Chain A
Amino acid sequence: GDSVTQMEGPVTLSEEAFLTINCTYTATGYPSLFWYVQYPGEGLQLLLKATKADDKGSNKGFEATYRKETTSFHLEKGSVQVSDSAVYFCALSVNDMRFGAGTRLTVKP
């Protein structure tokens, strides 16, 4: 079945550090790929998405590129801020949506 595997956390970084959260997927069809974010005390919200191979999704300084050859969709940000502290979920969708386990990021000043 369809599934997502993402880097286990928690991840702790200093402000302005480079962030990578790895995500790989297995899908029977041609999925769209997503990163969702859950800030403390808030609901899940879409961070970025890509719907076909080689597409790059970007938002708020975060980027992820849909790599079909490696079945990956790694999340990156060049310089994290304290306000980026949250739980990040990688997800894929063919019909319904399947989520990874989530990675908790803490950014310290």
Chain B
Amino acid sequence: GAGVSQSPSNKVTEKGKDVELRCDPISGHTALYWYRQSLGQGLEFLIYFQGNSAPDKSGLPSDRFSAERTGGSVSTLTIQRTQQEDSAVYLCASSLGPGRLYEQYFGPGTRLTVT
């Protein structure tokens, strides 16, 4: 079956522009997660959704970052007025449910480069 998909796979943008990153989770997965992986760094948790609600937004690095999920499926991560430090690989994952018992399945990521 289809895994988690993300688009675009690569995005190059100029500093100050807005970008939208998309994630399509595995069908039937109610929980969806966004992470950021900077060069040589581990994975930084950004936000997770249970259904369309985001119980924990504490990982979003600034108010330039926002995310939404509609129909309990597709999610969009938006970065406004991009900065060079936003350059990273943005990973999306989904799981059958939230919490400790459920494995997360990861998408291939979107590599964002801010010039």
Residues of A within 8 A of B (CB): 29-32, 34, 36, 43-46, 49, 51, 89, 93-102
21 contacts between A and B (CB under 8 A): A34-B103, A36-B106, A43-B106, A43-B109, A44-B91, A44-B93, A46-B103, A49-B103, A51-B100, A51-B101, A93-B102, A93-B104, A94-B99, A95-B48, A95-B99, A95-B100, A97-B45, A99-B35, A99-B45, A101-B42, A102-B41
- Name the residue in B43, B56, B93, B103 with the highest tally of chain A Cβ atoms < 10 Å from its Cβ: B43
- Name the residue in A30, A95, A98 with the highest tally of chain B Cβ atoms < 10 Å from its Cβ: A95
Roughly how many angstroms separate A96 CA and B99 CA in the complex, as a whole number? 6
Q: Is the CB of A96 within 8 A of B109?
A: no
In the assembled complex, B98 has its CB within 8 A of some CB on chain A:
yes
Point out the residue from A45, A96, A98, A102 that lies within 8 Å of B98, measured CB to CB. A96
Contacts of B106 in A (CB 8 A): 36, 43-45
In the assembled complex, B108 has its CB within 8 A of some CB on chain A:
yes
Q: Is the CB of B100 within 8 A of A31?
A: yes
A93-B100 contact, Cβ under 8 Å, with A44-B91, A100-B42: yes
For the complex of A and B, 4 pairs with smallest distance between CB atoms = A101-B42, A32-B100, A99-B43, A44-B106
A to B contact number (C-beta, < 8 Å):
57
Total count of chain B residues near the partner, CB < 8 A: 23
| Proximity bits, B26-37, A CB within 8 Å = 1, else 0 | 000000010100
Contacts of B35 in A (CB 8 A): 99
A98 CB → nearest B CB, Å = 6
A14 CB → nearest B CB, Å = 25
